[in-house]
Amino acid sequence: MLEINIFLIKMEVNKTLIDLIEEKKFSEAAETFNKTPILDYETKNPIIKLNMFEYSLTLNKNPVFLRVLLNYISLINILFDQESKVEEFHQILFQFNAKFTFEEKNGFIKLILMAKSTIDVYNLIFQEKEKAFENVEPNIKQTIDFDFDKKEEESIGYTYQELARVFLNDYIIGRSKGNELPNLLFYIRSIDEIQNLIGKFFKIPSKLKIDLNEIITQSGVNEFDSIVLLKEDIIINENNPYFRYIKTVQGSNAVYEKLELKKDIIYIIEIKHSYTMNKKIVDIQDLAKSYMKLYNKNVYDIKEELNFQDFKILYFYNYFENLGYKNLSNLKLEQNKWKFLYLSPSCQIMPVTTLKKKVDVLEKKVEENKDKIDHMERDNALFKEKFKNLEEMLSKNKFAKGIEQKRNEEFIIAKDLKNKIEEEFQELSK
């Protein structure tokens, strides 16, 4: 029964999304897509397919990443079916927090899809696991790693990351004060199918080509926990109850101070359950620089002029507060780009507590409405009984009126006949 319900809900959501796209209500469609954990769409001539991405070749696939990629592949094919002009297609795709871009390397280019993950996909995977991939080909399904139970540390990390993201969006940054940008980079294979789309679907500098002989050595995806572009300045004071420490690194020391976030700056947000400062963490700095270049490039001209240069890295962690600061001086860290923040574990409780309060309120309303519904049903039953009696009365009344009308008609005829007889009698008497 659960599977049927999931299937029916999925079909209904997909239908609504497609209807909105057909009606060109792209803002509403984008909101619906962000809340759609499964989007499966088949077309006879898809412009983009899973085998075009390096991630299709990766073993032990992260199910969250794969589900996000499959959803965007379906979305791209839906949009392309509805929009024949390639320029318009790329403009519309941008409204769904996604875009195609490219990087230059060794005289060749590498095409990339930038996409955005959502907590709805995350929740679906952890609740349903294999059921989230019912329509995926068996050879792909076999490569998905659902073994969260054995990876306890990774599972805890995911949970902390997603709850922290919800907390930041709802209680610190605020969903109205910034826009979430694509946080996943899916690398596209340099194959003949892609070569045939150059100039038609992808517009790149003519001097650059894809490397048809490339050797793939990476996993096919790069991830940032969250990326936000602020629409206004935000100041988080030191006494904010949900941050135990707000610190800026200066040399090998950490200094307490308020956190100031500025408008039109891209904030790369990294959230780690544990915290050990090492080269892998510092590499985020280089990845952030690459992200800025990729986000500013387009494979087709779109109306928005993208020219963002400044970024900051907000590194949130939930471990020993002072761990790792002593190692910073030995690493090539651009300290003006970083802010290290200890995010209190209470951030994990806050969304759950708020949700529980909302559920309690809803349950109370349900109980109140249940009593009202029972009362209305009783009233409705009484009304039906009264209505039935009224119908019978009206029916009887109509019959009585019919008899009376017939009697009046006969009385008139009899009266006319009587008058005629009297007139004839008077005539005969004369």
Q: Contact 118/71 with Cβ under 8 angstroms?
A: no
Domain of residue 185 covers: 1-146+181-223
What's CA 23's distance to the chain center, in Å? 19
Distance CA 227, CA 210 (A): 28
Single out the residue of 263, 258, 277, 184 nearest to residue 227, CA to CA: 184
**205 and 245 both lie in a single domain:** no
pLDDT tops 80 at residue 213: yes
pLDDT band at 111 (very low <50, low <70, confident <90, very high): very high
* Domains in the chain, number: 2
pLDDT tops 50 at residue 4: no
Distance CA 337, CA 331 (A): 14
Helix, strand, coil percentages for the chain (3-state, nearest 5): 50, 20, 30
pLDDT band at 8 (very low <50, low <70, confident <90, very high): very low
pLDDT band at 218 (very low <50, low <70, confident <90, very high): confident
**81 and 19 both lie in a single domain:** yes
Beta partners for residue 210, in sequence order = 109
281 domain residue, yes or no: yes
**140 and 185 both lie in a single domain:** yes
66 domain residue, yes or no: yes
**197 and 275 both lie in a single domain:** no
pLDDT tops 70 at residue 298: yes
Burial code of 101-125, b = ≥16 C-beta within 10 A, e = fewer? bbeeeeebbbbbbbbbbbbebbebb
Beta strand pairing call for 311-317 and 266-272: parallel
pLDDT tops 60 at residue 202: yes
The pLDDT assigned to 3 comes to: 43
The pLDDT assigned to 420 comes to: 66
Task: Name the domain boundary from 288, 316, 344.
Answer: 344
pLDDT tops 60 at residue 97: yes
pLDDT digits (tens, 9 = 90+) for 237-280: 877 776 766 776 666 666 777 888 888 889 998 887 666 667 77
**235 and 336 both lie in a single domain:** yes
**193 and 273 both lie in a single domain:** no
Beta partners for residue 228, in sequence order = 180, 267
What percent of the chain has a predicted confidence (pLDDT) above 90? Answer: 20
255 domain residue, yes or no: yes
Distance CA 360, CA 371 (A): 17
232 domain residue, yes or no: yes
**62 and 114 both lie in a single domain:** yes
Q: Whose structure tokens read 């919800």? A: 166
pLDDT digits (tens, 9 = 90+) for 137-150: 888 888 888 775 55
Q: What is the mean pLDDT of residues 97-119?
A: 91
Encoding tokens for residue 215?
């050797």
Cα-flanking dihedrals φ and ψ of residue 340, to 5°? -100, 125
Distance CA 158, CA 204 (A): 37
pLDDT digits (tens, 9 = 90+) for 309-349: 889 998 887 765 555 455 666 677 787 888 887 776 666 56
The pLDDT assigned to 413 comes to: 64
376 domain residue, yes or no: no
Alpha helix (H) residue ranges in 171-304: 192-195, 279-296
Q: What angle separates helix 119-128 from helix 63-82, to the nearest 10 degrees? A: 120
Distance CA 187, CA 417 (A): 104
151 domain residue, yes or no: no
Q: What angle separates helix 152-167 from helix 119-128, to the nearest 10 degrees? A: 150
More confident call, 166 vs 72: 72
pLDDT tops 80 at residue 157: no
429 domain residue, yes or no: no
Q: What angle separates helix 63-82 from helix 86-94, to the nearest 10 degrees? A: 140
Single out the residue of 269, 414, 235, 412 nearest to residue 340, CA to CA: 269
Task: Name the domain boundary from 296, 314, 344.
Answer: 344
Task: Name the domain boundary from 344, 371, 405.
Answer: 344
pLDDT tops 80 at residue 104: yes
pLDDT digits (tens, 9 = 90+) for 171-196: 666 667 788 899 999 999 999 999 99
131 domain residue, yes or no: yes
Instruction: Determine how many CB atoms are found less than 10 A away from the CB of residue 222.
Output: 17
**208 and 259 both lie in a single domain:** no
pLDDT digits (tens, 9 = 90+) for 371-399: 677 777 777 777 767 666 666 666 666 55
Q: Lowest-confidence range among 54-58, 121-125, 409-413?
A: 409-413
Distance CA 229, CA 178 (A): 5
Q: What is the overall mean pLDDT for the chain? A: 77
Q: What is the mean pLDDT of residues 214-242?
A: 84
3-state SS of 377-418 is HHHHHHHHHHHHHHHHHHHHHHHHHHHHHHHHHHHHHHHHHH
